[in-house]
Amino acid sequence: MPALKGATAPIYFGSFIVTPQVFHTTPLTFALVNLKPILPGHVLVSPRRVVPRVTDLTPAETSDLFLTVRRVGRMVERVYGATSLNIAIQDGAHAGQSVPHVHAHIIPRKAADLDHAGGMDAIYDLLDGDEGDLGKAFKNAVSTEEGDQSIEVGNGSTANSGRRSRFPVVDNDARKPRDEEDMRTEAEMLAREMENEPLD
């Protein structure tokens, strides 16, 4: 079930269907909430077309992607009471990309928000550690579901098919990954907030 009203076709992030996590779409771009946000409001923006590298994007896709990054970034900064944003793209495997589908991380920041984790710059350790490893997080979600005899096969829904999370907790700070319902609730809230966000 899509979080976004009017969404029809499933939306893919790499090989994963992420429709319930998606809170904003344009003809060329979509924005989704994160399975394991590093900080509140940590979201991703991707092209609709599944391509691994920024250079694989057309100029129209490039413009649309970053106009969406700008607009979504402004929205999450407002909604989560932040004052700055980290925007980061791991463009290729040797830059740390774990899902071979272009995606910009947008992470709202505020003063002293990572003092407990080692200070402002800890964001990058988190982004490149287990917390930021989207491939691992998605694969864990899938394999956990696949190992569960109660999984509904062939329901055409998502890779993470919506029960309470049994993801392994791999974070040092014991932060829990969210289940589909948590993500859908946040995505619905952010979809409403996007309606209030000026177009330019």
> Between the CA of residue 59 and those of 14, 62, 154, what are the distances in Å?
21, 5, 37
d(CA 69, CA 168): 30
Q: Is 101 part of the annotated catalytic residue set? A: no
3-state secondary structure of 16: strand
Question: How many other CB atoms are found less than 10 A from the CB of residue 86?
Answer: 17
97 carries a ligand binding annotation:
yes
Of residues 61 and 180, the one with the C-beta less far from a copy of itself: 61
- Binding segment toward a copy of itself, per CB under 8 A, in 26-34, 123-131, 139-147, 154-162: 123-131
3-state secondary structure of 12: strand
Token code pair at residue 99: 């899902």
Residue pair 105/88 in contact by the 8 Å Cβ criterion: yes
- Binding segment toward a copy of itself, per CB under 8 A, in 63-71, 136-144, 147-155, 169-177: 63-71
Question: Is 88 a binder of a copy of itself (CB under 8 A)?
Answer: yes
- Binding segment toward a copy of itself, per CB under 8 A, in 92-100, 144-152, 153-161, 176-184: 92-100
Q: Which residues bind a copy of itself (CB under 8 A)?
A: 54-55, 57-59, 62-63, 65-67, 69-70, 73-74, 77, 82-97, 107, 109-111, 113, 120-121, 123-125, 127-129, 200
Binding residue numbers for substrate: 34, 90, 96-99, 105
Tell me the catalytic residues. 103
